[in-house]
Structure 1
Amino acid sequence: MVFYVRRILFYVITLWAAVSLNFLLPRLLPGDPAAIMLGKLRRANGGRPLSEETIRGITSMLGAEKGMSFWDQYIAYWGRILQGDLGISSTRYPAPVIELIGAALPWTVILVGVATVLSFVLGIVAGAWVGWKRGTWVDHLVPATTFLQSIPYFWLALVLVAVLSVQLGVLPIIGGYDVFDFPGGPEWSWAFFGSTVVHAILPAITIVISSVGGWLLGMRNMMVQTMSEDYVVTAEAKGLTPSRIRTRYAARNAVIPSLAGFGIALGFVVAGSIVTEQVFSYPGIGKLMIQSVQGLDYSLMQGVFLVITLAVLAANFLMEMIYGFIDPRVRHRG
């Protein structure tokens, strides 16, 4: 119980620090981000005056409101965050930031989430097999996958586009769906679902190829280390079948350290694969982040960073709880 209470307190304090930092950063920047945003919004609105609510919202999120102390601004900022108000985007005025993030988030979670799970499963299964067959020809998988992991995302993505899309023409190049078949935008139908799956294959392959090597190498090394443990040697002495020793004794314990890394990877799923989404023009959080930086859209940048931070903290917290449940030694150390 002490372990869980301490971890909960730690993440509550970390969450408070992350939101507070998100509040402070625009106020520490040179110049006045709120004034820059308001100027962009006025231009996007055709020069017409903005509503008092819009001005108050921007100044509350990015700058100092007149007649309000710093503490009052901080309390007002927390109030807007708790209400889900992340401000108005200047590059896509008058769209609220929370709506833009909500529209991009499912694309990233599905694409990067599925690709991350696939790379983890493939890496763990292959790593367990390579570790079990250490010293044989299967050990050549390690340098091969490590080489693929060292290839830059954008270069690998461009190679796959050149081969699978341009030369063979079997997969689409860009986008999350076929805009010619669905000119009105996303819609929930089987035809649209099939279009999204086809468009996600190429960026998903890029992510899997680039990340499976790390899981494989880590699992292989842990498998080799676990094979020398006393309980594995005892199981072999008892005459248990090799498959049972591999799965029930060696692999089951070797995979535990990888679960912590998997939890962190799941947290960063929300951040998206920025380079991959940009290369394939995929409508996810990564592309949205790049657009916000290019357009100096402070409210959108602030909202995206906040959502990514919350997702990483939530994933790490969940995995620590699970890790403490499956490994009692963590609870005693905690």
Structure 2
Amino acid sequence: MPGDPASVILNKLAQQSQVTPATEKSIRALFGVPDEGLWQQYLHYLAQLAHGDLGVSIAYFPQPVSEMIGSGLPWTLGLVSLTTVLAFLLGTGIGIVSGARPGSRFDSVTAPLATFLGSMPYFWVATMLLLLLSVTVPVFPSQNGYDLGLDPGFTPAFIGSVIEHGFLPAVTIIVSSVGGWLLGMRNMMITTVAEDYVTLAEAKGLSRRRVLLAYAARNAMLPQIAGLAISIGTVVGGSLLAEAVFAYPGVGYLFYQAVVNLDYPLMQALFLTISLSVLLANFIADSVYVLLDPRTREDA
């Protein structure tokens, strides 16, 4: 991509007033020196990162990037964490029932439905919900995270407004991701219920419910746990599109604004935040994996 952060700021300032050489020199020093070697720039970036300095935003100059991410991150974490857990539990639960009796009437309905839901992209679902429930039938707000006439705080009015504004983005993420969880769990259940240890448990006279939950589902869920961590990056990426459609004040909408305004420091910091969230999710998933699978705790 041509250009650099300092040039973007200078072009914007030039449209408003004349830029003096001193101003240009100060802004270029603020956003780094492009003529430096790559290693010098990278080491300088790491030094700033070690001090928590993520740079200054171009689109919202001179606001620090760390403050912007700090204001948007709680919105995205609340939205993504809640919807991901709901989609995971809903898809996994239905997948257990569907995979326990493959070919049944219930399975014949849920499997094609899950395939259909899994093929719908986030932005298309968000656009359709916006068109149907905000424009055609104005039931839910079309943008923002809460009513701008309210003061943020833990009051019933503000919490109710947050729930109302976040409903459509939440439904978007759940609808777009639940199909994948359902199909994954269904396929693993079909494979697991045919294993010898499940047949042995049934031969012992254990109840069908205990066999499915304690034997089949517990083992079939292991790949789901691993997939949950891997999909965090995909879910966050999908929430970016959903937030951009609904102008939801989270990291996704910030990312959209950063791309539109060529806000390099903000884009770079958001990429780093998403990468760290995926690493953290993988660490948590590995820890949960140990609790669910006793074989991982056995000494070699």
Report the TM-score, using the length of structure 1 for normalisation. 0.79
The SS at the match of 1:111 is: helix
Query: Contact 1:37–1:58 at 8 Å: present in 2 too?
Result: no
Counterpart position of 1:131: 99
Post-superposition shift, 1:170?
2.4
Counterpart position of 2:135: 166
Q: Using a 3 Å threshold, how does the CA distance of structure 1 residues 57 and 311 change in structure 2: closer, same or farther?
A: farther
The SS at the match of 1:258 is: helix
Candidates 266, 277, 296, aligned match of 1:300: 266
Counterpart position of 2:70: 102
Query: Contact 2:57–2:64 at 8 Å: present in 1 too?
Result: yes
Gaps of 5+ in 1: 1-28
Counterpart position of 1:92: 60
Post-superposition shift, 1:52?
7.9
Note the 1:59-74 alignment, pairs <5 A.
Answer: 59=32, 63-64=34-35, 71-74=39-42
Candidates 188, 191, 198, aligned match of 1:225: 191
Counterpart position of 2:124: 155
Candidates 255, 263, 272, aligned match of 1:289: 255
Counterpart position of 2:162: 196
Root-mean-square deviation (Å): 2.8
Counterpart position of 2:7: 36
Query: Contact 2:173–2:235 at 8 Å: present in 1 too?
Result: no
Query: Contact 1:268–1:312 at 8 Å: present in 2 too?
Result: no
Q: Using a 3 Å threshold, how does the CA distance of structure 1 residues 53 and 255 change in structure 2: closer, same or farther?
A: farther
Candidates 255, 261, 286, aligned match of 2:227: 261
Candidates 320, 326, 332, aligned match of 2:286: 320
Post-superposition shift, 1:331?
7.5
Q: Using a 3 Å threshold, how does the CA distance of structure 1 residues 45 and 246 change in structure 2: closer, same or farther?
A: farther
- Work out the CA distance in 1 between the residues paired with 2:235 and 2:144: 19
Note the 1:213-252 alignment, pairs <5 A.
Answer: 213-252=179-218
Say yes or no: does 1:141 pair with 2:110: yes
- Work out the CA distance in 1 between the residues paired with 2:119 and 2:229: 22
Counterpart position of 1:115: 83
Counterpart position of 1:23: none
Q: Using a 3 Å threshold, how does the CA distance of structure 1 residues 268 and 189 change in structure 2: closer, same or farther?
A: farther
Q: Using a 3 Å threshold, how does the CA distance of structure 1 residues 152 and 70 change in structure 2: closer, same or farther?
A: closer
Query: Contact 1:44–1:90 at 8 Å: present in 2 too?
Result: no
- Work out the CA distance in 1 between the residues paired with 2:243 and 2:286: 30
How high is the sequence identity, in percent, across the aligned residues?
46
Q: Deviations over 1:134-168 (max 9, x none)?
A: 22101111101211221233332232223323344
Query: Contact 2:72–2:250 at 8 Å: present in 1 too?
Result: yes
Post-superposition shift, 1:203?
1.2
Gaps of 5+ in 2: none
Give the number of aligned pairs: 297
Post-superposition shift, 1:72?
4.6
Query: Contact 1:149–1:212 at 8 Å: present in 2 too?
Result: yes
Post-superposition shift, 1:282?
1.0
2:127 counterpart letter in structure 1: L
Report the TM-score, using the length of structure 2 for normalisation. 0.88
Query: Contact 1:80–1:86 at 8 Å: present in 2 too?
Result: yes
1:217 counterpart letter in structure 2: L
Post-superposition shift, 1:38?
4.7
Counterpart position of 2:51: 83
Post-superposition shift, 1:329?
5.1
Post-superposition shift, 1:318?
2.7
- Work out the CA distance in 1 between the residues paired with 2:296 and 2:269: 34
The SS at the match of 2:31 is: helix
